[in-house]
Amino acid sequence: MEPTVRIGVDVGGTFTDFVLFDEKSGRVHTGKRLTTPQDPSEAIIEGVKRMLAETGFAPADLHSVVHGTTLVTNTIIERTGASVGLITTEGYRDTLEIGKEIRYDLYDLFIEPAPTLVPRHRRLGVPQRMDPDGNVLLALDEEAVRQAARKLVDEYKVEAIAVSFLHSYRNPAHEKQARAVIAAEFPDLPLTLSGEVAPEIREFERTSTACANAYVQPRMRRYLDKLQTSLAALGFRGHLYIMLSGGGITSVREAREFPIRLIESGPAAGAMASAFFSRLAGLDRVISFDMGGTTAKMCLVENASPNRKHDFEAGRVRRFMKGSGMPLKVSVVDMIEIGAGGGSIARVDDIGLMKVGPRSAGASPGPVCYGLGGTEPTVTDGDLILGYLDPKYFLGGEMALDPDRVKRAIDGKLSQPLRVSQTDAAHGIHRMVNENMAAATRMHLAEKGRDPRRYTLIAFGGAGPVHAWGLAKLLKLSRMVVPLGAGVTSALGFLVAPPATDNVRSYVARLDQIDWAHVRRLYAEMEAEAKELLVEAGARAEAIELHLSADMRHIGQGFEINVPLPKGSLGPEGLAAIRASFFNSYSQHFGRTVETIPIEALSWRLTCVAPGRDIRLDSVRPPSTGTVARRGTRQAYFAGHGYVDCAVYDRYALKPGDRLEGPAVIEERESTCVVGPDSTVTVDPVYNLIVDIR
């Protein structure tokens, strides 16, 4: 009999989260363990064992384990990756360091430069050159490659090598030739070719991606090998799948080859969970809102699929400052992340105004109310004073909060210097953090030419449901949805993610001058690669859907937009349809079209998706069976109303079909949903709270 149990594992910085789902019984079970940073597989193995023990399943019942990890992103942030050498086109050894030549802060004279993973002495140029059409201008000097590799390995002791040659996206022959030379010398050395990890035009971004891949590869390989071995030792005979940054799952092989594609695998799960809930609720326009302790992440989910993009900036010197990190050409969920979380600190700035974030008190010392030594008022502290959080029921009562300590901190740090009341200061923190999130969301939508008013908010994360109502009001949304179990929501994403791949090839040409035979060749190549991977990742070959698109622009513009290519349009006869598709996308983005300027395509993309496995929530039940929904009332503060008697509900006792009026506070273990006046809450069949705001 086919095994029916699947486990999703999310290795986070502090906790490793587990969610188990049995297809046969529909049973869902969740768990949590402290992450083991030296060897994350330890916590995973222990956790899987415990999940099985708690549910009475055997390792042989496991169909698959789906895994997301912050290991890649942490390796880059903490700079704990391998010593990497770069072999590149002679004359271009500094591409990585020269970068985009911008100052990411216009006014700060003393900015720290964006990080470079490979120092100059380990970047070596070798004679070779292709032109933009992939013709060889200068043959590859194999001896120079050999010497360079020897120097890097013998003298500089590098643990991995990246090879990046100019125009390798167009013709990878020299990079492949270099690989053969290096592999002959050092057969076990991990090697990354830029034309394989990111076959896209723009040498800085492609080289940066290749170096980052080489940088994380040795560590990721060790880790994945260890994990596979340990799972096998446990008696696990199922499949191990890995979550990609774009929200699809893949095989261990691709993860070993291109670990950089896992950089956003954790956050992607949250977006996939939102996509799942939006499909259940029949919502085609959703803003996914995940607010935790340090950051808030927002992304658009349209037609049950998260918006994606094909570049990402990692390892920023200033975390929330665009341009201060290294660019990566990887497919990721298009998400904005800002420094707004429960731990974000409120302070008075130089000119006497209040600011909230991006600095965070984190988990340690944490907010003042935790009583763990925090002295600076945070968002959570403000929420406590406003009556949104119950000092006695935080984390289901595991942690008592101390309002008096908070009052003293707010008084000293904010009320007195700002000359405002304690209530105004607390409410100020709450609305300012909401305001910051609203501004970032509005900008994100504005850049895509979307109007927020037509969207529904899906809120999760520990602080998400506390702030969702305020955020929804600022964005003028009329509806929000809060799934049950804010802390588990994200992990569900692992179980609903479909096997998916993203392939790309750059070939720059004007639409009216394209060599279509070449484009068809590129697609045939990509399709073969993709299908092989997807079948490995558990897909049936005949069920794979292909989505073709191209990055296009008017000649002269610097920004490309991604344009879907209609079926069967790869040829001169499809030109009209492609043009129409371009104008359609263009006007969606920019609200207008300019028909007279020629169009060019730069990169050709193929996304392949196999149907994901669904999970049923029909057997989801709140963890405890409270019988009395209404816990009582407490004083909570709402703008324009002041402190009012606010009904407090036990979320676990609410039943599908229940209906209640705001203001209300609805408590569950991991979070609290705050609903202001002029709003109605209904509970849907899978225990989501649906909040309609008038």
Partner 1 sequence: MAMTSVRDLDPITLEILWSRLISIADEAAAALLRTAFSTIVRESNDFATVLMDEAGDSISENTGGIASFSCILPRTTKHFLRLFPAKTWKPGDCVITNDPWLATGHLPDFTLVTPIFHRGNLVGFAGSIAHSPDVGGSLWAADTKEMFEEGIRIPPSKILEEGRRNELLVNVLLSNVRVPEQVLGDLEAQIVANEVCAKRVQEFLEDTGLPDFRELSKSLNARTEAQMRRAIEAIPDGTYRATLDADGFDENKTHLACAITVKGSDMVIDFTGTSPQIGRAINCVMNYTHAYSVYPVKCALDPFTPRNEGSYRALSVVAPEGCLLNPRFPAPVNARQLTGHLLAGVIYRALAPVLPDKVIADCGGAPTMRALFSGVGRSGNRFSQILFASGGMGAAPHRNGLSTTAFPTNAGAGSIEAFESISPLIVWKKELRADSGGAGKQRGGLGQVCEIEVRAEQPLILSLLSDRRYNPAMGVLGGKPGALAEIVMSDGTVPHQKSRTTIKPGMRLTMRYAGGGGYGPPAARDPATLQEDVLNGYVSAEGAKRDYGAA
Site size for partner 1, by CB under 8 A? 77
> Is 120 an interacting residue with respect to partner 1 (CB under 8 A)?
yes
Of positions 2, 398, 404, 596, contacts partner 1 by CB under 8 A = 596
How far is the C-alpha of 191 from the C-alpha of 181, rounded, in Å? 11
Of positions 2, 101, 188, 398, contacts partner 1 by CB under 8 A = 101
> Is 589 an interacting residue with respect to partner 1 (CB under 8 A)?
yes
Q: 187 or 352, CB closer to partner 1? A: 352
How far is the C-alpha of 430 from the C-alpha of 378, rounded, in Å? 9
> Applying CB under 8 A, which part among 184-192, 436-444, 524-532, 677-685 lies near partner 1?
436-444
Q: 102 or 139, CB closer to partner 1? A: 102
In the window 328-367, what residues touch partner 1 (CB under 8 A)? Answer: 348, 350-355
> Is 136 an interacting residue with respect to partner 1 (CB under 8 A)?
no
What is the β-pairing status of strands 5-11 and 62-69? parallel
Contact 325, 319 (CB under 8 A): no
> Is 435 an interacting residue with respect to partner 1 (CB under 8 A)?
yes
Q: What is the DSSP string of 143-173?
A: HHHHHHHHIIIIIT--SEEEEE-TTTTT--H
In the window 208-237, what residues touch partner 1 (CB under 8 A)? Answer: none
Of positions 1, 109, 188, 398, contacts partner 1 by CB under 8 A = 109
Q: 62 or 117, CB closer to partner 1? A: 117
> Is 558 an interacting residue with respect to partner 1 (CB under 8 A)?
yes
- The count of residues in the chain is 694
- Phi and psi angles of residue 603, each rounded to the nearest 5 degrees, phi first: -130, 145
Three-class DSSP category at 222: helix
Q: How near is the Cβ of 226 to partner 1 at its closest, in Å?
A: 35
Of positions 17, 203, 264, 551, contacts partner 1 by CB under 8 A = 203
What lies within 8 Å, CB to CB, of 545 at 6+ separation is: 608, 609, 610
What lies within 8 Å, CB to CB, of 317 at 6+ separation is: 111, 112, 113, 114, 115, 324, 325
Of positions 107, 282, 618, 655, contacts partner 1 by CB under 8 A = 107
Of positions 131, 143, 515, 545, contacts partner 1 by CB under 8 A = 131
Q: Which two tokens stand for residue 603?
A: 């990169």
> Is 639 an interacting residue with respect to partner 1 (CB under 8 A)?
yes
Contact flags string 597-626 toward partner 1, x per CB under 8 A = x-----------------------------
Q: Exposed, middle or buried: residue 160 (CB in 10 Å: 0-12, 13-18, 19+)? A: buried
Contact flags string 455-494 toward partner 1, x per CB under 8 A = ----------------------------------------
In the window 153-192, what residues touch partner 1 (CB under 8 A)? Answer: 166-167, 169
Q: Which two tokens stand for residue 590?
A: 């920019």
How far is the C-alpha of 452 from the C-alpha of 472, rounded, in Å? 10
Of positions 304, 317, 363, 420, contacts partner 1 by CB under 8 A = 420
> Is 694 an interacting residue with respect to partner 1 (CB under 8 A)?
no
> Applying CB under 8 A, which part among 6-14, 34-42, 398-406, 439-447 lies near partner 1?
439-447
Of positions 513, 628, 655, 694, contacts partner 1 by CB under 8 A = 513
Contact 311, 328 (CB under 8 A): yes
Contact 381, 406 (CB under 8 A): yes
In b/e form, how buried is each residue of 574-587, taking b as 16+ CB within 10 angstroms? beeebbebbbebbe
> Is 416 an interacting residue with respect to partner 1 (CB under 8 A)?
no
Of positions 108, 573, 645, 661, contacts partner 1 by CB under 8 A = 108
- Phi and psi angles of residue 463, each rounded to the nearest 5 degrees, phi first: -100, -10
Q: 131 or 661, CB closer to partner 1? A: 131
